[in-house]
Amino acid sequence: MKLYIISNRLPAKACKEKNGTFIFSRSEGGLATGLNSLKTTDEKHWIGWPGICVDKKEDEQIISEQLEKLNFHPVFLSCDQYKNYYEGYSNSTIWPLCHYFFAYTEYKNCFWKAYQEVNALFCEKICSIVSADDYVWIQDYQLMLLPGMLRKRMPHLRIGYFHHIPFPSYELFRILPERGEILQGLLGADFIAFHTHDYMRHFISAAERVLNIDFQLDEIQIGNRVIRVEALPMGINYDLYHSVSENPEVQKAINRFQNLFGNHKMILSVDRLDYSKGILHRLWGFSLFLEHHPEYLGKVTLAMVIVPSRDQVNQYAELKTKIDEEIGAINGKYSTIDWTPVCYFYHGFSFEELAAMYFVADIALVTPLRDGMNLVAKEYVATKQNNPGVLILSEMAGCAVELTDAIQINPNDIEEIEQAIVKALEMPEREQKNRINHMQAILSNQTINKWAADFMTEWNDICSKNQRFRLKRIVGPVISDIRSRYKHAHKRLILLDYDGTLTAIRNRPEDAKPDPELIELLQQLAEDKKNHIVINSGRDHLTLEKWLGQLPISFAAEHGAFYKENGKWNKNIQSTEWSPSLLSTLKLFVSKTPRSHLEVKDTALAFHYRQTDSWLGALRAQQLTNSLIKICLQQKLQILQGDKVVEIKSPHCNKGSEVNRLLQKDHYDFILAIGDDVTDDDMFQALPSTSVTVKIGTASKNARYNLTAQSEVIPFLQALIHRDLFQQKNLDRKENIFSIMNFFKKLLPNNK
């Protein structure tokens, strides 16, 4: 078994020398650094762009041969592809949107086409080398279409995805023209994770509203798969950073920096060039500090390291110019012969030099306007070894959730930055060490390896759940067994839910009328004298009678409050006289919830919110439930939360009580029950363990089998009675039906 890490870039990049040879060096960036240090028992491979565009196939072959010695598998892109995919859609469309810089977002059709093309190239590369037992872990926003593409090519492949940047709120994400395609691409993964619960919440909200789907807490079923979403903050290689000062090369650099800065207090700022990092706000805050606190002039130096990034993008080039001007203004105003307020480094440093800076710095100023995680803050804290230091941290950074002992500030407030610098400089050494120790205790536990292990554990868990889910699917030998038991039974009880089982769920319940095909199927089932057909539904009995009353079948309506046998309706409980307080509460919530409505039955009340905004509907359902608890306890009523409905009914009748009544009256050697809702679990639980219980949609622990969609129910029932199994219209109902239809096509004799 192998683990394939898929990212935009490989951890190593190729560079062509003048003599035509290629040299390879380490790629910059927290993702490559973090994942390179991750330990795993699996054989680890990496797929990504090698950092260079080449035109010749022989150059591609040379680069591939060198990189594959390291288990790195390059995906080659043309210059135009890379420009439009990476600089274009990834960093001029997605990046600013996810970081809440909507004004910087650029939309061009060529960007989107290149993004699709490159994701498809990654898909081709992966499919050419992975096997079905491998793990494919996709990293970040440049490859959001890839999970869905892979799922289509390799349906049972284990696919994980981690989003390393912020995921914006629905109100912002909905602006993206391709929002639906992006979300569908991500949902091709088995497991999707984000750094914080905020990002996780935003993703779920966007998926529910854009795709009109419903998560059950952190999971959603799509087709025959369950997808899980979680928040897992990425860590660092804590031991590496915490012991780094013992490295002789690092110790030399520490001595050099200590001599350079002398008695000056050193404030360290390390960033990639990006407008999301809040670099200008940081400089404005530092300038304000120097202006208002002249007692620190000549005593405090801001060492600002900015790693070049995307200089060719207009916004970045303009930002670089503004930063240069601001630093020039500060240094021009406050510099002396022996002191420069801002030491500016527009280049990267080696690991040893950067670690030495962390160790020496009295203060780390990490103030992004928006950041997915920010590992610089964690690296700074980890590097300290009984030496003081203060972390000033933006509350907009993902790591702020963990590093609560930092001085947290709003990065947009330059006065707060100024005050935080003063507070840090005046903080007693004992308090500094206590804060550092508290944060180190967290970081030493939440390491890069724990992050990866947690991801793999959750990922394996949901893959195992999907495997169990697949075992419940009614395919292959399972169908043969059910059909055989049906064929040889002498007396059969067939219990069928209505909405979501025999018919699809409709936004308007009154639109779920049975079609001629369903009527004919029920008629065929009822004509078999061995069959006792019962529609066991939450529907009111008048509607069921109107739609299906002409058929020679039995009914249980309103969760067993009414039942019909031998052509006669019976009532198990008296009609309820609803109290004014109960009705007024329900009507209040209907008025507060656009597109909801109240259904009044003889023995139940139902608040329907299927057409309502998903977030608002869930909120109102919970609020309504909370509001009704006291009233329902007093009146001895039951509150039942179903699929987009809150129902108030008598506790004495449910779908299980109707099953008990039927089983007491007769003995059956074959029982089939099919339902799609939580209320059907009462029916499943009341039946003998030998029964064929089938849950539609999400698999249930109370049902032995599963059909993934309502559209599979009719073909399944038709298969039991050998009727019209192979009509093309049934095959066209939904892609998932093919497993049932094709099996029976092979199973039945040619003359059938």
The CA distances from residue 168 to 69, 90, 201, in Å, are 39, 15, 10
Cβ pair 729, 533 in contact under 8 A: no
| Helical ranges in 154-274 per DSSP H | 170-173, 179-186, 197-211, 238-242, 248-261
Sign of the dihedral through C-alpha 454, 456, 458, 461: negative
Report which secondary-structure segment, H or E, holds 49: strand 43-49
Any idea which residue has 């003599």 for tokens? 19
Annotated catalytic residue: which of 190, 274, 405, 497? 497
Strand pairing partners for 22? Answer: 16
Strand pairing partners for 45? Answer: 4
CA atoms of 170 and 220, how far apart (whole Å): 18
User: What backbone torsions phi and psi does residue 278 show, to the nearest 5 degrees?
Assistant: 70, 30
Strand pairing partners for 494? Answer: 533, 672
Indicate the SS3 state at residue 524: helix
Q: What is the 8-class DSSP label of residue 239?
A: H
Strands (E) in 618-738, as ranges, are: 638-642, 645-649, 670-675, 692-696, 705-707
DSSP assignment of 111-167 equals: HHHHHHHHHHHHHHHHHHH--TTSEEEEESGGGTTHHHHHHHH-TT-EEEEEE-S--
Does 528 participate in catalysis according to the annotation?
A: no
Q: What is the 8-class DSSP label of residue 51?
A: S
**Amino acid identity for residue 67 in this structure:** L
**3-state SS record for 444-511:** HHCCHHHHHHHHHHHHHHHHHHHHHHHHCECCHHHHHHHHHHHHHCCCEEEEECCECCCECCCCCHHH
User: What backbone torsions phi and psi does residue 277 show, to the nearest 5 degrees?
Assistant: -85, -10
User: What backbone torsions phi and psi does residue 196 show, to the nearest 5 degrees?
Assistant: -130, 160
Record the tokens describing residue 260, joined without a space: 């350079």
CA-CA-CA-CA dihedral for 377, 380, 382, 386, to nearest 10:
-140
| Helical ranges in 237-346 per DSSP H | 238-242, 248-261, 279-292, 314-334
- Among 201, 214, 114, smallest CA distance to 163 is for 201
CA atoms of 273 and 339, how far apart (whole Å): 25
CA atoms of 522 and 533, how far apart (whole Å): 8
Largest CA distance in the chain: 105
Record the tokens describing residue 310, joined without a space: 């995307």
Gyration radius of the chain over CA positions: 32
Residues assigned a catalytic role: 497
